[in-house]
Amino acid sequence: MKIAMIGTGYVGLVSGVCFAEFGFQVTCVDKNPAIIERLQAGEVTIYEPGLDELLLRNARDGRLVFTTDLETTVADADVIFIAVGTPSRRGDGEADLQYIYAAADEIAAAMKPGAVIVIKSTVVVGTNADVRARIGKARPGVAFSMVSNPEFLREGSAVEDFLRPDRVVVGVHDDAGAAAMKRVYRPLYLRETPMIVTTLENAEIIKYAANAFLAMKVTFINEVADLCEKTGGNVQDVARAIGMDNRIGSKFLHAGPGFGGSCFPKDTRAYAATGRKMNAPQTLIEQVVTINEQRKRSMATRVIEAAQKNGEKSVAVLGIAFKPNTDDIRESPALDIIPVLQKAGLAVRAHDPEARVAAEPVLPGVTWCKSAYEAVEGAGITVLLTEWNAYRALDLKRVANLMSGNLLFDLRNVYSAQDLDGTGLEYHSVGRPLVGKVS
Ligand code: UDX
């Protein structure tokens, strides 16, 4: 069984490497020669824990190769995965499918009869059927199967998520497609991972509905946090107790500065746009999109108001990545918050363990620091924005001594009231009581 993986971005690279780890012969294809050269040299082009080891081992053993030659790769492949990007289209928020269609056209021209074509990218409902019709038209009379196989990989734990998923979802229209998916996911199947075999449309909707639901859960707890702040409640206690109800579940109930990343913002916008287009308004998710965007901005307002009240002029931001264990800054709250702080006249110093290279070009005017302690030096306010492990056990007395002011905004609720004892810091967190206020 030979697998072609079209697109070596996040999803394509992780999936390609993991299929090689399952023992298949995998060829990863990308149009960008610079990326392919780096991968051929054994350099992992994304930051993802555990990926480098698997990539090197499988490449060394000859099961994993990288090329820009789509035509030859596809002509020889039994199963062809499409894992190209589906970015948000400017303006309407709909998913831009141009890369999917371009890949489909190239695949149609090169595929062998009986090929199984699998869309792994997140695509709006109806896309798999469209692509199937398009390829059928391009190669009349040539048999092929179309499969929708959405991924549920979290950045930072994508390898683990691929190798040990809660479930695998495959949408098919014929038995050959289903049989091929059972083969490629056989190692998981043997581990009794449930495989949902369903229609193309269901698989497409499942992916969006799953992400929309999780984004809604985060947004819900963020609003509960707002209520806690106004009433003396504690969102962590509330989340813990409601999460113990199995119908609710404890995950994705961490209040914070709003969700970011390459999936939730883009997918909720696309899901809402599909609802509008199909005349099935997804009003709940429309609201989630709006609330989340406002939330990121309102976090900046909190800090600015505190700065004005206390006469502070500088802010140290700890964490730029949208979450820990990734260098990804796409739609990270930091990108919304920092420019607003700067516009209000605040000088920003920042640190992130991995994301500086990505962040520097898009956040002009920021003073970049080599460590959290260097960043807080001389700062009036410190804002903890990403819950990197490196920020979970800071010596807060040292932080307080290095700062010129005494305001700590922990927007990830990393610390507890006890951690603040004796530091002299005024501690603002999310949905929890203020600690250490000297009034
Ligand atoms: C998500 C989905 O989890 C994954 O299944 C899908 O395939 C892609 O999108 P990812 O974007 O990597 O994965 O990150 P995730 O860990 O889900 O977090 C998304 C955002 O929500 C982050 O900004 C995170 O900080 C935020 N979040 C998450 C919270 O604010 N609170 C939570 O309780 C959970």
Nearest protein CA to atom 24 of ligand 1, as residue: 259
CA of 65 to the centre of ligand 1 (A): 30
Let me know whether 180 and 299 are in one domain: no
- Structure tokens of 135? 């390829």
155 is in an annotated binding site: yes
Atom of ligand 1 nearest to the CA of 322: 23
Is the predicted pLDDT of residue 420 greater than 90, yes or no? Answer: yes
Helices (H) and strands (E) in the chain, counts: 17, 14
Among 132, 165, 193, the domain-final residue is 193
Q: What is the mean pLDDT of residues 315-332?
A: 96
- The contacts of residue 416 (CB under 8 Å, 6+ apart) are none
Mutate to test the pocket of ligand 1, among 149, 167, 263 (most ligand atoms within 8 A of CB): 263
pLDDT of residue 93: 82
Residue 251 CA: which ligand 1 atom is closest?
Answer: 33
How confident is the model at residue 87, as a pLDDT? Answer: 87
Report how many domains make up the chain: 2
DSSP class of 88:
B
In ligand 1, the atom with minimum distance to the C-alpha of 332 is 23
- Residue 335 is assigned to a ligand binding site: no
Helix (H/G/I), strand (E/B), else coil: 390: helix
pLDDT tens across 189-248, in order? 878 899 999 999 999 999 999 999 999 999 999 999 999 999 999 999 999 999 999 999
Whole-complex ipTM: 0.97
CA 34 to ligand 1 center in whole angstroms: 29
| 56 and 103 co-located in one domain | yes
CB 214 within 8 A of CB 154: no
pLDDT at 405: 97
* pLDDT band, very low/low/confident/very high, at 321 (cuts 50, 70, 90): very high
19 is in an annotated binding site: no
List residues bridging with 5 in a β-sheet. Answer: 28, 81
Supply the pLDDT for residue 438. 65
Per-residue model confidence as pLDDT tens digits over 367-403? 999 999 999 999 999 999 999 999 999 999 999 999 9
Q: Are residues 170 and 229 in the same domain?
A: no
Q: Which of 132, 159, 193 is the last residue of a domain?
A: 193
Among protein residues, the one with the nearest Cα to ligand 1's atom 6 is: 152
251-263 pLDDT per residue, tens: 999 999 999 999 9
Closest among 354, 292, 273 to 47, alpha carbons compared: 354
Is the pLDDT at 188 greater than 70, yes or no?
A: yes
**158-187: average pLDDT:** 97
- CATH code of 315's domain: 3.40.50.720
Mean pLDDT confidence for 416-435: 96
Give yes or no: residues 117 and 261 share one domain: no
Would you state the pLDDT for residue 191? Answer: 83
Residues 188 and 204 in one domain: no
Q: Is 239 annotated as a binding residue?
A: no
Write the residue with the smallest CA distance to atom 27 of ligand 1. 259
Query: Within this chain, do residues 111 and 243 fall inside the same structural domain, yes or no?
Result: no
CA of 267 to the centre of ligand 1 (A): 12
Question: Does the pLDDT value for residue 107 go beyond 70?
Answer: yes
Indicate if 35 and 109 belong to the same structural domain: yes
Is the pLDDT confidence value at 27 over 90?
yes
109's tokens: 């021209």
169 and 213 in a single domain? The answer is no
What average pLDDT does the chain have?
96
Q: Is the pLDDT of residue 439 over 70?
A: no
Distance from Cα 155 to the centre of ligand 1, integer Å: 8
- Whether residue 419 is predicted with pLDDT greater than 60 in this model: the reply is yes
Q: Which segment of 58-62, 211-215, 326-330 scores lowest on mean pLDDT?
A: 326-330
Nearest CA to ligand 1 atom 1: 154
Average pLDDT on 127-133 reads 97
- As annotated, the active-site residues are 263
DSSP state of 20: H
Q: Last residue of a domain, which of 193, 218, 236?
A: 193
Q: Do 126 and 270 fall into the same domain?
A: no
pLDDT at 234: 98
Asked which of 91-95, 154-158, 266-270 is least confident by mean pLDDT, the reply is 91-95
One domain, residues 354 and 381: yes
- The Cα 95–Cα 79 span in angstroms is 25
Question: Both 228 and 180 in a single domain?
Answer: no
Read off the tokens for 361.
């070009």
203 and 189 in a common domain: no
The per-residue DSSP string of 223-289 comes to: HHHHHHHHHT--HHHHHHHHHTSTTT-STT----S---SSSHHHHHHHHHHHHHHTT---HHHHHHH
Which residues lie with the beta carbon below 6 Å from any ligand 1 atom?
A: 151-155, 211, 214, 218, 252-254, 256, 259-261, 263-264, 322-323
Q: Residue 61 belongs to what domain range? A: 2-193
